Amino acid sequence: MSEKVKLNTTPSKIDVKNEAWVLHFPRFGAEGTHFHTYGQLTPYFQGLTQGKLMGTHCVNPACPISKGNGELWVPPRIDCPDCHAKMVWKEIKNPQGYIYTYTLVERGGTGLEIETPYYQVDVFVQGVCTIIKGYLINRTPIRIGDKVKAGFLTGDQATHTCLDIYWELI
């Protein structure tokens, strides 16, 4: 068992249609390929492959909750849940936070592409109003409150999925 978690996946091929990524998931063998578009969420996945964590926030001054200065959502939402205005993209620079809670996954379900055992972590990042779900690359015992930073699978390593962001103990 290696010290760091590995993925059991092959990078998905992508097409670009009207600026949106369309993924090829050859997950069904002879049964065929599943095609899935990220639509307007494409900038989030593009960002991961470039080592950037992108969120969205509401900047509508008439919004009853954000009043034009909303906190960041990660994963992003396209429309504000409170005023339904289009949200605006913003990069979270040098994303760091702490483990809010976690689960040790010893047996994965069908199709899990993360080598077990691994820690499924929920991470609190300052300025982000959502708790970010992800996986920890370390296998050493952890505690709630441990500090972590984001790492990314970029370039040839990118899977073009949500697995392209992982968390690492600081």
Residue with tokens 């899935």: 36
82: contact with Zn ion by CB under 5 A: yes
- Number of helices (H), then strands (E), belonging to the chain: the values are 1, 10
Q: Least CB distance from residue 41 to Zn ion, whole Å? A: 18
Exactly one of 80, 136, 148, 165 binds Zn ion (CB under 5 A); that residue is 80
Helical segments of 28-136, H only:
42-49
Q: Which of residues 20-59 bind Zn ion (CB under 5 A)?
A: 58
Which H or E element spans position 57? strand 53-57
> Which whole-number Å values give the CA distances from 147 to 72, 97, 98, 106, 155, in the listed order?
20, 6, 4, 23, 26
d(CA 136, CA 3): 11
Q: Least CB distance from residue 86 to Zn ion, whole Å? A: 9
Q: Least CB distance from residue 65 to Zn ion, whole Å? A: 6
66: contact with Zn ion by CB under 5 A: yes
Q: Least CB distance from residue 56 to Zn ion, whole Å? A: 11
Q: Which is nearer to Zn ion, 71 or 91 (CB)?
A: 71
Residues at the interface with Zn ion (CB under 5 A): 58, 60, 63, 66, 80, 82-83
